Amino acid sequence: METTMLKDALTVIQERKSVRNYTGESVSKKDIEKILHAAMAAPAAVHLTPWKYVVVSEKVMLKKLSAHLPHAKMLQHAGTGIVVCVSPAEAASQSEIYAILDGACASENILLAAEALGLGAVWTALYPNKELMNFVRNELDIPQNVIPLNLIPIGYPTGEDKPQKKYDAKNIHWDVW
Ligand SMILES: Cc1cc2nc3c(=O)[nH]c(=O)nc-3n(C[C@H](O)[C@H](O)[C@H](O)COP(=O)(O)O)c2cc1C
């Protein structure tokens, strides 16, 4: 099934939430492609685009990854997982920090695009945990000089996960701190 975008951008931002409960229904390749277009529309330092994406849809691999990743157990019930990777050698100043920042921008676009399409997603951390990064590198043949930043399950939400209110006026300083 392919979904269509219905909500305006600010509603999507407010309604995005980490989705950890999935129906198990598979996600169409068209929707994954829309999400990847959104990822690569993110800002990137000096207009360099050091990001790479590994799209995992095979059930056996999704199960294997979820079995070994302590904070990504929900992956086995999602239709797809996207590993957002970055290549520091291709980033501004060949800097790991710029690469990570670029990857984080792309990741947020993925989370928002999923919400816009009526899908659910959640950032599950790989970086900076070397053990998790190496495990995913080995399983998915990711080169040593590429950093797997996170693994984002994408699937149909059961509806159990709700947006959390984080707005707090105390965190804003108008004009001066
Ligand atoms: C850098 C980063 C790492 C995260 N790692 C995990 C993770 O490993 N597993 C997980 O379930 N959620 C993870 N999250 C999601 C956060 O727990 C979630 O964003 C936070 O609780 C706020 O909830 P919300 O996304 O629904 O607003 C991570 C989020 C970020 C930004």
For residue 1, is it within any domain?
no
Categorize the per-residue pLDDT at 6 as very low, low, confident or very high, splitting at 50, 70 and 90. confident
CA–CA distance from 71 to each of 17, 65, 85 (Å)?
A: 16, 11, 18
Share of the chain above pLDDT 70, in %: 97
For residue 14, is it within any domain?
no
Q: How far apart are the first and last CA of the chain?
A: 49
Is pLDDT above 90 for 87?
yes
Sign of the alpha-carbon dihedral angle for 110, 112, 116, 121: positive
> What does pTM read for this prediction?
0.97
For residue 116, is it within any domain?
yes
Indicate if ligand 1 lies below 6 Å from the C-beta of 167. no
Q: How many domains does the chain have?
A: 1
For residue 4, is it within any domain?
no
For residue 95, is it within any domain?
yes
CATH number of domain containing 56: 3.40.109.10
Helix count and strand count (H, E) for the chain: 5, 5
For residue 171, is it within any domain?
no
Q: Which atom of ligand 1 is nearest to the CA of 163?
A: 26
Residue that has been written with the tokens 């080995």 in this structure:
138
Indicate if ligand 1 lies below 6 Å from the C-beta of 13. no
For residue 93, is it within any domain?
yes
Residue nearest to ligand 1 atom 30, measured at CA = 123
Indicate if ligand 1 lies below 6 Å from the C-beta of 66. no
Q: Give which of 15, 13, 16, 11 is closest to 154, Cα–Cα.
A: 16
For residue 146, is it within any domain?
yes
Gap from CA of 124 to ligand 1 centroid (Å): 6
Range of the domain at 34: 19-156
Residue nearest to ligand 1 atom 19, measured at CA = 18
pLDDT tens digits, residue range 94-144?
Answer: 999 999 999 999 999 999 999 999 999 999 999 999 999 999 999 999 999
Helix (H) or strand (E) holding 14: helix 9-15
Please give the pLDDT value at position 36: 98
